[in-house]
């Protein structure tokens, strides 16, 4: 049975790309219309508490115990760091005379969670700085992790777990994932107290992850309705303030827990997210379109270069050696004169010749490129969407006119510019 949709004119690779994009769009459209655009969520899922946050930590250190896959001698700072570490151990070495391949300089990164107390453990990520080939089997020496203020908040140490490997040499080798990045589970111990004193809070501020005035007002109304009095107010599209004294709870953590477990219906904003590099297109189920017509045509240009054999005028091939007329390496005089003498004496003949070998004569040949350019413009495909068209109709229409994922990006941008797309278009 023949498909009612026209085939792609850009080759099998573009056709496969189109099918993947259309499949993603169709699945999104079906799932969007299977449920209502508005969804019930908890306050904890869409807000954060101001002042309760993670902190980034970074450090520098050495990974030892590598199997000759560490930094080379050209990475000077690795040798210098090793010399400094050895000096702290009471061993003096000259960095210029040291050559080791089982040591690598690394950066260590970690995330310090809120309310972390001294003695708590956090995971760390170790990444190579120099030209090490792999960190597999290495052990991180004790390294300090600093915060944005320059203070030491944790100490990291331990064996690495690398999720990749490399084997073979440069000419014939194989690498899986990234062997120069490793993880140490619970590899850092917190040394400084960063906990926030919630009992000193007079006001609790909730921050929306996706700013929206309607959602902020709904959260404030839900809190006031649950407490039976006005304890919360929306300051802007991002912040909702709650008065601790008016709430009347026994403690601030209890108040935050009660507020975070409130449920409300969130109106999801109409948005389309497009990633042209990967061909990913995500459309919200509540995206609406005004009446619009789309005309889409395909222009294909094919350039083919072929090579034909053509004679080269003025050059003959002689004696099976492929030497042009005018002098061979064995002649002591002008090659043209030799050929004339042989012609007079009958030495040049199909069955003989000097040395008893066959003599081949004739014009030389060369490969000449011939370029053919063929351009074809197919008939334009037309799609029309009526007032209030939804995602499913848009997907089916784009599929019917045989568009690729990149065509969809251009069409959506054109519809948005025309004013027919009632949603935010975000192109990544």
pLDDT tens, residue by residue, 374-388:
666 666 666 676 666
User: Once rounded to an integer, what is the mean pLDDT over residues 183-210?
Assistant: 91
Q: CA–CA separation, 232 vs 223, rounded Å? A: 6
What is residue 196's predicted lDDT score, i.e. its pLDDT?
A: 83
> H or E stretch including 32?
helix 12-34
- Each residue of 105-158: pLDDT tens digit? 999 999 999 999 999 999 999 999 989 989 999 999 999 999 999 999 999 999
Per the CB < 8 A criterion, the answer to whether 54 and 110 are in contact is no
What is residue 232's predicted lDDT score, i.e. its pLDDT?
A: 94
What is residue 89's predicted lDDT score, i.e. its pLDDT?
A: 87
Exposure pattern of 87-97 as b/e (b: 16+ CB <10 Å)? Answer: eeeeeeeebee
What is residue 425's predicted lDDT score, i.e. its pLDDT?
A: 79
Q: How far is CA 319 from the centre of its chain?
A: 62
In DSSP notation, 314-332 reads EEEEETTTTEETT--TT-S
Q: CA–CA separation, 389 vs 209, rounded Å? A: 30
Whether 92 shows a pLDDT value over 80: the answer reads: yes
Whether 50 shows a pLDDT value over 80: the answer reads: yes
What is residue 377's predicted lDDT score, i.e. its pLDDT?
A: 61
Identify which of 53, 55, 54, 47 has the alpha carbon closest to the alpha carbon of residue 241.
Answer: 47
* Between 399 and 31, residue with greater pLDDT: 399
The neighbour count for residue 131, using CB atoms within 10 Å, is 14
CATH 1.10.10: does it fit domain 41-50+197-266? no
Whether 174 shows a pLDDT value over 80: the answer reads: no
Whether 5 shows a pLDDT value over 80: the answer reads: no
What is residue 194's predicted lDDT score, i.e. its pLDDT?
A: 85
In DSSP notation, 197-216 reads -GGG-SEEEEEESS--HHHH
What is residue 356's predicted lDDT score, i.e. its pLDDT?
A: 46
Domain segments of the chain as ranges: 12-35+271-298+378-427, 41-50+197-266, 62-164+177-190
- The total number of residues written for the chain in this structure: 428
pLDDT bracket for residue 408 (50, 70, 90):
confident
The neighbour count for residue 319, using CB atoms within 10 Å, is 19
* Between 198 and 411, residue with greater pLDDT: 198
User: Once rounded to an integer, what is the mean pLDDT over residues 303-329?
Assistant: 58
pLDDT bracket for residue 38 (50, 70, 90):
low
Q: CA–CA separation, 188 vs 108, rounded Å? A: 10
């Amino acid at each position: 049975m023949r498909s009612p949709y026209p085939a792609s004119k850009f080759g099998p690779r573009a056709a496969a790309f189109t099918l993947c994009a259309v499949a993603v769009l169709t699945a999104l459209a079906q799932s969007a219309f299977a449920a209502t655009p508005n969804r019930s969520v908890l306050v904890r899922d869409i807000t954060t508490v101001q002042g309760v946050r993670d902190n980034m930590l970074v450090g520098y250190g050495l990974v030892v115990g590598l199997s000759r896959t560490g930094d080379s001698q050209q990475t000077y700072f690795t040798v210098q760091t090793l010399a400094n570490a050895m000096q702290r151990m009471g061993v003096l070495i000259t960095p210029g005379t040291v050559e080791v391949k089982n040591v690598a300089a690394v950066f260590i990164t970690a995330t310090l969670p809120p309310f972390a107390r001294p003695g708590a453990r956090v995971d760390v990520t170790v990444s190579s700085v120099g030209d090490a080939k792999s960190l597999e089997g290495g052990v991180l020496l004790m390294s300090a992790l600093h915060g944005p203020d320059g203070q030491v908040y944790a100490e990291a140490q331990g064996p690495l777990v690398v999720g990749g490997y490399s084997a073979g040499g440069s000419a014939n080798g194989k690498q899986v994932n990234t062997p120069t990045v490793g993880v140490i589970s619970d590899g850092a111990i917190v040394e400084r107290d960063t906990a926030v004193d919630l009992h000193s809070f007079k006001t609790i501020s909730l921050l929306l992850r996706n700013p929206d005035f309607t959602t902020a007002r709904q959260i404030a109304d839900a809190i006031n309705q649950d407490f039976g009095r006005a304890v919360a107010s929306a300051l802007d599209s991002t912040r909702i303030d709650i008065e601790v004294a008016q709430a009347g709870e026994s403690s601030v953590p209890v108040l935050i827990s009660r507020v975070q477990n409130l449920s409300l219906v969130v109106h999801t904003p109409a948005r389309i997210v497009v990633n042209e590099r990967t061909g990913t297109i995500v459309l919200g189920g509540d995206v609406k379109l005004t009446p619009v017509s789309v005309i889409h045509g395909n222009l294909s240009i094919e350039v083919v270069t072929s090579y034909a054999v053509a004679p080269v005028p003025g050059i003959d091939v002689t004696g099976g050696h492929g030497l042009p007329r005018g002098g061979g390496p064995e002649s002591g005089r002008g090659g043209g004169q030799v050929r004339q003498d042989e012609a007079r004496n009958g030495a040049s003949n199909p069955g003989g010749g000097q040395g008893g070998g066959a003599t081949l004569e004739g014009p030389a040949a060369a490969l000449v490129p011939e370029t053919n350019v063929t351009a074809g413009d197919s008939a334009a495909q037309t799609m029309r969407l009526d007032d209030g068209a939804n995602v499913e109709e848009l997907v089916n229409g784009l599929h019917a006119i045989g568009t690729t994922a990149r065509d969809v990006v251009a069409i959506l941008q054109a519809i948005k510019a025309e004013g027919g797309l009632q949603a935010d278009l975000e192109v990544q």
